[in-house]
């Protein structure tokens, strides 16, 4: 996989910043709303970086399946994200 572009790193930084404030995770649409990015952009980031972001299904009391996204490493911050990207094999 080629190195991430600047634009992709900026988007990933936004997502990491939001998830860093919500350690329990957020659902896909809420991350998109807070970051002002499209839902598909968030979904692509989750698929492209499984070593950073993890997703799991959660059911609401109304039996609606929501995809919850959270950080795999809770110590990951926007400041150390680029360094972390260089240390992992992507």
| Model pLDDT for residues 3-13, shown as the tens digit of each residue | 788 899 999 99
Token readout for 83 is 């360094």
Closest C-alpha to 67, from 37, 90, 47: 47
Count of C-beta atoms within a 10 Å radius of residue 26: 20
Judge whether 1 lies within some domain: no
| Model pLDDT for residues 44-64, shown as the tens digit of each residue | 999 998 889 998 877 667 776
pTM, full prediction: 0.83
Given the DSSP bridges, would you call strands 65-71 and 53-59 parallel, antiparallel or unpaired? antiparallel
Token readout for 46 is 């989750």
Helix (H, G, I), strand (E, B) or coil at 66: strand
Judge whether 25 lies within some domain: yes
Q: What per-residue confidence (pLDDT) applies to 67? A: 83
Judge whether 39 lies within some domain: yes
Domain that holds residue 80: 6-87
Number of separate domains in the chain: 1
User: What CATH number corresponds to the domain at position 63?
Assistant: 1.10.10.10
Average pLDDT, whole number, for the chain?
A: 86
Token readout for 1 is 């996989």
Helix axes 28-35, 6-21, angle to 10 degrees: 110
């Amino acid at each position: 996989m080629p190195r991430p572009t600047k634009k992709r790193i900026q988007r990933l930084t936004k997502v990491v910043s939001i998830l860093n404030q919500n350690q329990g995770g957020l659902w896909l649409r809420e991350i998109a709303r807070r970051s002002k990015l499209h839902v598909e952009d968030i979904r692509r980031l989750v698929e492209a970086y499984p070593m950073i972001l993890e997703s799991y299904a959660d059911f609401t009391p109304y039996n609606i399946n929501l995809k919850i996204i959270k950080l795999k490493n809770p110590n990951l911050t926007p400041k150390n994200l680029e360094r972390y990207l260089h240390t992992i094999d992507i």
